[in-house]
Structure 1
Amino acid sequence: MTEHVRITREAGGVCLIRLARPEKKNALTGAMYDAMREALLAADAEGSEIGAVVFAGVEGAFSAGNDIADFVARANESFGSAPSLRFIRQLGATRTPMVAAVDGIAVGIGTTLTLHCDLVYATPRALFRMPFVDLGLVPEAASSYLLPRRVGTVKATELLMLAEPFGAEEAVRLGLANAVVPGDTLLEHALAQAAKLAAKPRAALAATRALIRGDRAAVEAAIEAEARAFDAALRSPEAQAAFRAFLDKARS
């Protein structure tokens, strides 16, 4: 486990997964991915009293995406067994309803994670971005499959290939978020909505969720296809140069 992910049981059968690494804007390490994955597994376990999960960050930062230094340190490991991919696989497989409370930056997995959530709420200062191409990488978490089906191919191409940021109001307009919520009530609102989900008949809710989401195998196939392309891209000169530039900037 890690002190950078705080997992608590909230009222109404809700599990709160709160990223707590403010000094790094919640950049995700392998240990953080493992902690989140274990929380999702526990929520889905037989006999679990958890009826919904809420993802939240700290004030001004949902997540800055992957911790590049941690990524570089794992460069010689197979991406197929990386904590980030294990988490992404579990994210796509999780049956428990999930809610995201997004304040501030949501970069990379900070955005693509929300595509798997059933409800997404964002503050006026939320800023979403998927800069995979800029880092010499490719999309992950089935975003290359899910995003076009949510916003259309034309807009998905713009968001994934130009990698330009978009705010909370645009996220609502595109159907990527449910509502813009004031920062001081964001977590309270997300927890309340999650508790509403948790209070509903479990079997009916699960069946409805599965019908809405459609072919789970297609999502899993997209995750694996992206993982193979991501693994190859990680070792490319483009990605290595982008990582060095990022780390040099961070040290300066």
Structure 2
Amino acid sequence: MSEAIIIEDRPGGVRLIRWNRPEKKNALTGAMYDATRRGLEEADASEAVGAVVFAGLPGAFTAGNDLADFHRAAQAPGMAFSDMPALHFIRHLARTATPMVAAVDGLAIGIGTTLTLHCDLVYAGPQARFRMPFVELGLVPEAGASLLLPRRVGLARASALLLLADGFDGAAAVAMGLANALVPSEEIEAHALAQAARLAALPRRALAASRALIRGDAREVEAAIEAEAAAFEAGLRDPETQARLARFLAGKA
């Protein structure tokens, strides 16, 4: 997995976590989720790391979860969504203490969008394409999106984004308040790293306390994640969902 996930500690106390699976547009496997989660855990435990930047490749932040993993889980008699690396990652993402920054260029599907709701700063490129197609696959939103997205953009707009899976680009993400700025593709990673270095240079205690105040009650987010996980698992077991996943994987969706 060292090739599919690249983790580098950069100057200024910044850890860069890059998804690097170009042949699948950075679709995340269980092993990639585990490696990313460990990267966050290590950042939280390190006095040298003051901020984390998530990045992908030109044209693909991440195409979301590798649906083959979900399809296999749905067919495995003893497998529960609660045991899957995706949920372990989501749970840790919500309680990561290290400030997180996202540099989104290209596809940001599913978790590629919902992950940004947990980031302190988000920068989008002109080619960014956000989309959350959970319901059309027979599933439900994840990563606390059912709670966090309406708070950010309002109930009506969140309903269109989550129920109808309306996509939006980087400029729209900025306009909706889901991204801080639109940055040229060739500059976005450097810009995100520079802003992360600014965060890492701040007094740690004041930064941590301020993040906690801004984010509010973490228990609400954790409760939303667990409720979504239960509904997500029920969806995975549904025959219609299994058929939709099979059609998608066969290229017939």
- TM normalised by structure 1 equals 0.97
Determine whether 1:118 maps to 2:120: yes
Alignment of 1:1-252 (within 5 A): 1-45=1-45, 47-75=46-74, 76=76, 77-249=79-251
- What secondary structure is seen at the aligned counterpart in 2 of 1:87? helix
Structure 2 residue runs without a partner (length 5+): none
Tell me by how many angstroms 1:68 deviates.
Answer: 1.1
Q: 2:138 and 2:71 mapped to 1: Cα distance?
A: 14
- What secondary structure is seen at the aligned counterpart in 1 of 2:186? helix
Contact 2:109 2:131 in 1 (8 A): yes
Q: Which moved more, 1:208-217 or 1:67-76?
A: 67-76
- What secondary structure is seen at the aligned counterpart in 2 of 1:184? coil
- Write out per-residue CA displacement over residues 28-74 of structure 1, whole angstroms, 9 at most, x where no aligned residue: 000000000001101111x5311000000001000000101122223
Q: Which moved more, 1:238-247 or 1:200-209?
A: 238-247
Tell me by how many angstroms 1:169 deviates.
Answer: 0.8
Tell me by how many angstroms 1:204 deviates.
Answer: 0.2
Aligned letter for 2:63?
A
Contact 2:70 2:236 in 1 (8 A): no
Contact 1:2 1:32 in 2 (8 A): no
Q: 2:175 and 2:240 mapped to 1: Cα distance?
A: 34
- What secondary structure is seen at the aligned counterpart in 1 of 2:166? coil
Q: 1:73 and 1:158 mapped to 2: Cα distance?
A: 29
- Write out per-residue CA displacement over residues 160-191 of structure 1, whole angstroms, 9 at most, x where no aligned residue: 00101101111001100000000111100000
Q: 2:240 and 2:109 mapped to 1: Cα distance?
A: 19
> For the aligned residues, what is the CA RMSD?
1.2
Aligned letter for 1:57?
G
Q: 1:88 and 1:18 mapped to 2: Cα distance?
A: 17
Q: 1:149 and 1:2 mapped to 2: Cα distance?
A: 37
Percent of residue pairs identical: 64
Structure 1 residue runs without a partner (length 5+): none
